Structure 1
Amino acid sequence: MKIALLSVTKSGLKISKQLKMKLSQDPRIFQVDIFHKNVKETLRRIFDDYDAIIGIMAMGIMVRSICGLLSDKRRDPAIIVMDDAGKHVISLISGHLGGANDLTLEIANLTSARPVITTSTDVHGCMGIDALAKKYYWKIKNTDKIVKFNRALLDGAKIIIESPENLEYLFNDQLFRKSYMIKKGEDKIIKAILDKDEIKIKPCRLVAGVGTKKGINEEKIIEGLKKALSFLDLPLERLDIIATGEMKKGEKGIINASRILKKPLKFVDLNDLRLEDTHSKSSFVEDKFGVGSVCEAAALHVAGRGSRLILRKTSYDGIAIAVAVSREKVF
């Protein structure tokens, strides 16, 4: 995730600097940039380049500055506003699909500000269909039906999730259990069904790239995968593929972990690893293999063309793990 922090006052700039330090510790966040003053001009220039934009300013300034830039809830960045005393942090735009609500809660936790969430499903303790898709990295085809389905949830309806895949891990999600039921389906795609209407859903490919020191056993690797996915608030069952470099073909720990978890294991050719632009850089790995990070490169390659990292390299006792998600067109 790339985040832009905008401020207009000295106190706002101070908060931006403090927030940058704290957000940069999150392995889901890859870049945090600070911009000061010239709000309208800056927003026009950066609006499409960041996943989230946080304005440390009066909400009116942000609203007036972004109104001509918004285009589509599927593509607009998360927009968050925080007052320059750091007392309140408000999710303004793209609360669900853009992740503004979750980021607002994280900022509140980091700064002790009071979070302000106004999306109806959230304030009534429901998980909207768009929030469900965002959390589990699903793509929704007919987004025009989101409002109808979410309104039904607020009226007490239960939505059926019909799937050919095993989605039992969803039952561990308390908010999911409150509003949804699972039914075995025959079609190749997932469907959310409300009466005679339906929303078509397809999961994005989720790949964990793994690099290890020699001789690491499968128990440690599985525990490392669980810890990595916990940063994303995802169960291990949501993972689709495990990937690593071809130099790890003899590592029984990785092979056995794949077998135990019943997840496909892909070995990536060294030349293909070198083609990937990784976020993390290890001089040792680069000198030895010519790639900045084996786990990041393997995850990106197997996730497919245009894929993106959603968890940068994280290390656990001799194990390095990164997670990438596909960006291929699914509908």
Structure 2
Amino acid sequence: MTLILEEGKIVDLKQKGTYAVVAITKHGVELARNLHAKFHQTDLFYMSKFEKGDEKERNISIFEGNVRLLLPTLFKSYKGIIMIISLGAVVRMIAPILKDKKTDPAVVVIDDKGNHVISVLSGHLGGANELTKEVAELLKATPVITTASDVQKTIPVDLFGSRFGWVWESAEKLTPVSASVVNEEQVAIIQESGEKEWWTYDKPLPKTIKVYPTIKEAIDAKPNAALVVTHRNLTEEEDVILQNGVLYRPKVIVLGIGCNRGTSMEEIEQVIQDTLNDLQFSIMSVKAVCSIDLKKDEEGIIAVAQKYNWDFTCYSADELNRVQIDLPSEAVYKFTGAYGVSEPAARVYSGAQTLAMTKKKSGNVTISVAVIPY
């Protein structure tokens, strides 16, 4: 979508995310596209002269005109704005539209090379300090926070795991769960999958936040709130933990795909959905689809990967044959040079020793499912 920015015109935004990322330079756009791909709660805006051609597929908005004219609408629409623009220019642009620290969004600035992430506005109430830390961790940059009283050091519920690509299933309980964390009520964390390095402070977890090995044990403890990290669909009994809880979906599921040439995107997508439903896995936790390099131009697989913004990785027959698999096939070897496609591809990408589904043939599609171990 191209936004034409004119003085006095209200921009019709197709908002999906909680945070806006804005870039106006060539290097800034590359950095912004990388950040947008990893930070799934963002909407991206950059100048039309840097158009790549894939903006519609990736839900990126491009604009024509002065970026200053875009900011009033972003201020009204987003919880935070991440700007890859010089700090001085940002200060001059936002000064006329500032209102109150209780209502202004968080504003974070990143330099053009991605070396520093700076908390500029609404550090505490607006969450800019926590946003700065999360973005800096994701970009491996240096966070710059100047608030003298920034000492609480606890979990930002709406940003929990965002640098790893985790997404929350629903925003409904973000506010009450955040209140429980900030007010030092009893909060349970249950993590069944995903990256473990989410606590980055040089001190232990607050005593009011406790990690439980299972959802059942957390339910029995009767916490005031909960953060649940899993790729699984919860059972009816487990779902009670979400009465005041947020469910996070880590990107851990890898789909190995083999198919007949010309298989439609719709058939591949349906097989994926049916398979995940059978396993009781969430499609929101899929990280990648992978196959043999003979399929690198397979339009159906490419279309599915683009629709869901999944990685699409292909391996050579030699790479696939180096992996020991449970179900080798002479027939597959005859046509591809590999003794399997979906199974070894899922194993190579995920590094998993065992698969959630070794191999299933459905119509024109063969699928294997792995969960990345952490």
Q: Name the larger-Rg structure.
A: 2
TM-score when scaled to structure 2? 0.42
